[in-house]
Structure 1
Amino acid sequence: MQKKFYGIVDIGSNTMRLVIYLQEKAGHLREVENVKAVARLRNHLNTENQLTEQGLDILINTLQSFREVIRTYSLTDLVCVATATIRQAKNQSDIINKVKERTGLPIRVLSEKEEAFYGYLAVVNATSIDEGITVDIGGGSTEVTYFKNRQLMEAHSFPFGALTLRSFFKDIIPEEKEIFELRHFLMEQFSSLPWLAQKQVPLIGIGGSARNLAQIDQALKKYPLAGLHQYKMQVADIQSVMAYLVSLNYEKLLKVEGLSSDRADIILPAITVFSSLYETVQAESFVLSRKGLRDGVFYEQLSKEFGTYLFPDVLEDSIQELINDYDLHPKQILHVQSLTRKLFHQLQDQTAVDWQDADWVLLKRASYVFNLGKYIDSESSSQHTFYLLANRTIDGLLHKERLELALVASFKNKTVFKQYVQPYKDWFSKQAQKKLRSLGALLKFAYCLDATRRQIIDDFTIEKTEIGIDITLYCSQDWMPEKYQAEKQKKHLEKSLKIPIQLHFKKAVE
């Protein structure tokens, strides 16, 4: 299949970016190039709200630089969008004409409503959050939306951003009184929208400032997982980061791990926005979305191809990407999944194992991606499976859910499981760890029943005996390889269930 590349130029008030996407087999877009320039166009609006000649030169020179990168790709489509600063500039028409003349790029100036909509669209197509408030703080504006059942209910754009709010502080490191005054201003602004009040839903942060907040929090905690998308924080975490940054001088602030040097002077106003909005919403948590406006623009583009701008199941699409990327076998997956489902429910009924419906949901997810690390190396498949699933962004899963998936899908034995879970042992109780281990042992056993990928086991029965359980498996073909693997691996299931298992292989009645 011929590769399709798409490009977007995002002209923001603080930064400008060129992002190139590659369309995957399943239709999704994967970022392959991301070029950033700190243009700070907001600082080049004069008292009459016109972009100055100096600002225009910075804009055009940056776009010409982007064009050099663009030339290395054969793009199916290229979009150039501009937000608050160009939107608010009185000489907008002149800017658009000169940019077109000098660079050949036609600028599409997004309305406040469009900018908010694209942020919402990115979040609902990149997470499994059904109801929430999004916040995207740029240099010159802040967009908030409320969605429920994945449908946009409310949207608003405030005419202030991290650069404009900096005026509340005399110095980079503010005094307590200045923070109080900014919070008072923000709480008044947010209270003007009744639909924000006490929603008690996740607050989803979009954009560079939200990203930096999450990165700093991860650095302070020595967070053991890779990735930022769907990283979850509580209000205490936001307050802790704020208190830490305020305690530093500017020189030390520039060296904070996780904080981009070009955001050092605007991060404190931005965090004040997040904490004030968190309080207004009485949010359940703060969740970072790496996907934002640029992704939303292309989700709308894809909607023309797929007929809807909402992907039906975000997580299902992500799992399908993994199946495609690692050449997994759909026929085997469906067969093993069927065996696993029956094993799960029958063992649940006939043993004392503490499995719930939610555990089946996790087990089903893991059955799609079990042992995918063999794509890299069959001998160390378990290690690769765990690392890939634990550290790869999987749209639709929070970080802890991603880790649970990795632990179950990579199960090899109790010793290796303990090695994997060791850095995260505080994340799970001992009981939760035992349950994850039992689910992993069950899944590994089920895959042994299709060791040769021939789907020879048509059915099975489970019978409880005085000393344990008997599993009788009915086979359509020679079962020697499956029997060897199942007998070898059943010990892990026996240990987790604390019950002996006898296996009986028989020819299926035709």
Structure 2
Amino acid sequence: MEKQFYAIIDIGSNTMRLVIYMQEKGGRLKEVENVKAVARLRTYLDNNQKLSNAGISKLISTLKSFQDVLAAYDVNSIICVATATIRQAKNNQQIKEKIEIETGLDIRILSEEEEAYYGYLAVVNSTSITTGITVDIGGGSTEVTYFENRELIASHSFPFGALTLKEFLSESIPTEQELVELKQFLTEQFRSLPWLINKDVPLVAIGGSARNLAQIDQNIKRYPLAGLHQYKMYDTDIQSISNYLTDLKTEDLPKVEGLSKDRADIIIPAIQVFHTLYQVIQADSFILSRKGLRDGVFFEQLSKDIGTTLFPNVLEDSIQELMNDYNLNPKQILHVQYLTRIVFNYLKDNGVMNLMKTDWELVKRASYLCHLGEYIDAESSAQHTFYLLANRTIDGLMHKERLMLALIASYKNKTVFKQFIGPYKDWFLKEERKKLRHLGALLKFTYCLDATKRQIVKELDITKKQRKLVITLYCSGDYTPEEYQAEKQKNHLEKIIKMDVDLHFVSMKK
């Protein structure tokens, strides 16, 4: 399938952004270009709520610079959307017409409802969160939505954003009184919506200010994993960063690691929005979504092909994308999965190992991506498998879940497992670490039963005789390579079940 490119231009109140996506191998859209311009169009609204000529000029010159970038791609379609500042500008129709004359671009001015809806759509189609509240703070508006079982229940757009809330502060670093007044204002605003109060669900944040908050937190904690999407924080984390920033001098604020210089003067008001909303909701956590309005618009476009705006299998689609990217063999994967299930069920049902249904989900998930690192280098497959899975965004998996997947799929031996889990040791209890190692060892053994990727081992029969596990492997064809690998790797299984394992390879009758 030929590469197909799609572009979206997002005209926000603070920043303007061009994002180009690529679609190939029949998969979902992948971002290949992301160009940002800090236009601060909000500051060009005059007393009559009209965008000034200087603002229009800034807008058009930025769009033309985006078109220079677009010229390097054979783009199938370009979608151009505008949010709060253009929506609120009383001369927005004249702006729309002038842009079309000057650039040929047709601007779609999103309503408050549409802006909130696209944020919700991005979250439910790129995370595993089924019930939650989203917040997207822009320069001139703040959108919140509430969804249950992935269905949108309520939404609202507040007519304030990071740039307008900045007016509460005399300087970038507020006084204590200014912070109190800002929080009081925000609390009153959020509590005016009964469906926001005491929900005890995740608060999912979208947009640049949320990304900066997460980046600052990761830098302070020296967070060992890469990626921001689905990064989790708590009330105390947000309060801690707020205290840290408000204790700085104004000139030191732009030097904070993880904070974009163009957001230095608006990050503190934005953080107050997140923290106040967290407290009104009584949220159970704060989760960042890197997928936002732009992605929501494209999810709607893609839905025309599948007939629903809600992708039914977020995680499965993301795993399939990985399988495509690294040329993994679906036939081999399903066969290894089948053999693994037989061994897993026997160990579980006969009390050989303490296994649960949730453990099977972990092993099954890892079996799709086992030894993915061979794509880069067979000799160091385990290292590449672990690094790729631990540090690549996988829609539908939180960071800890992603790490668990990486640890099981990359399992080589106990020593290497300890090296991999070392920086994350305090993420897990001792029993959890042991369970992950055992699941990895189990998958390591069953994976070698299809060493030549020919599906030679068709069936397994397992029995327990005294202190020994006897596995009979029924094969079609020459099973010598599989027998060699299985005998070599069976020690991984023996160590976790604390029993000897006898393997009997037999040819199936034709």
**Could you say which TM-score interval applies, normalised by the shorter chain?**
over 0.9
Q: Which is worse superposed, 258-267 or 486-495? A: 486-495
Equivalent residue runs for 1:24-173 within 5 Å? 24-173=24-173
CA deviation map 1:372-403 (0-9, x unaligned) = 00000111111000000000000000000000
Tell me, yes or no, if the aligned pair for 1:456 and 1:475 is still in contact at 8 Å: yes
- What SS does the aligned partner of 2:211 have? helix
Q: Match of 2:236?
A: 236
Equivalent residue runs for 1:27-426 within 5 Å? 27-426=27-426
Q: Which amino acid aligns with 1:308?
A: T
User: Which consecutive unaligned segments of at least 5 residues does structure 2 have?
Assistant: none
- C-alpha separation between the residues in 2 aligned to 1:181 and 1:105? 42
Q: Which amino acid aligns with 2:13?
A: S
Deviation at 1:509, TM superposition (A): 4.0
Q: Which amino acid aligns with 2:297?
A: V
Tell me, yes or no, if the aligned pair for 2:2 and 2:24 is still in contact at 8 Å: no
- Percent identity (aligned): 66
Tell me, yes or no, if the aligned pair for 1:229 and 1:393 is still in contact at 8 Å: yes
Q: Which is worse superposed, 94-103 or 348-357? A: 348-357
Tell me, yes or no, if the aligned pair for 1:26 and 1:321 is still in contact at 8 Å: no
Deviation at 1:350, TM superposition (A): 2.5
CA deviation map 1:94-145 (0-9, x unaligned) = 1111111111111110000000000000001100110010000000000000
Q: Please report the TM-score for the alignment, with normalisation by the length of structure 2.
A: 0.99
Q: Which amino acid aligns with 1:385?
A: T
Q: Please report the TM-score for the alignment, with normalisation by the length of structure 1.
A: 0.99
Q: Which amino acid aligns with 1:489?
A: Q
- C-alpha separation between the residues in 2 aligned to 1:175 and 1:354? 57
- C-alpha separation between the residues in 2 aligned to 1:461 and 1:397? 34
Deviation at 1:351, TM superposition (A): 3.9
CA deviation map 1:178-207 (0-9, x unaligned) = 111111111110111111111111100000
Q: Match of 2:481?
A: 481
Deviation at 1:475, TM superposition (A): 1.1
Tell me, yes or no, if the aligned pair for 2:27 and 2:321 is still in contact at 8 Å: no
- C-alpha separation between the residues in 1 aligned to 2:101 and 2:289? 36
- C-alpha separation between the residues in 2 aligned to 1:309 and 1:427? 35
Tell me, yes or no, if the aligned pair for 1:198 and 1:282 is still in contact at 8 Å: yes
Tell me, yes or no, if the aligned pair for 1:3 and 1:23 is still in contact at 8 Å: yes
- C-alpha separation between the residues in 1 aligned to 2:113 and 2:444? 50
CA deviation map 1:32-61 (0-9, x unaligned) = 111100000001101110001111111111
RMSD: 0.9
Deviation at 1:247, TM superposition (A): 1.0
Q: Match of 1:446?
A: 446
Tell me, yes or no, if the aligned pair for 2:5 and 2:20 is still in contact at 8 Å: yes
Tell me, yes or no, if the aligned pair for 1:434 and 1:496 is still in contact at 8 Å: no
- What SS does the aligned partner of 2:353 have? coil
Deviation at 1:349, TM superposition (A): 2.3
- What SS does the aligned partner of 2:255 have? coil
Deviation at 1:508, TM superposition (A): 2.3
Q: Which is worse superposed, 320-329 or 468-477? A: 468-477
Tell me, yes or no, if the aligned pair for 1:458 and 1:475 is still in contact at 8 Å: yes
- C-alpha separation between the residues in 2 aligned to 1:497 and 1:242? 50
- What SS does the aligned partner of 1:505 have? strand
Q: Which amino acid aligns with 2:471?
A: I
CA deviation map 1:421-442 (0-9, x unaligned) = 0000011122111111110111
Q: Which runs of 4+ in 1 moved over 3 A?
A: none
Tell me, yes or no, if the aligned pair for 1:26 and 1:320 is still in contact at 8 Å: no
Q: Which amino acid aligns with 1:299?
A: F
Q: Which amino acid aligns with 1:492?
A: H
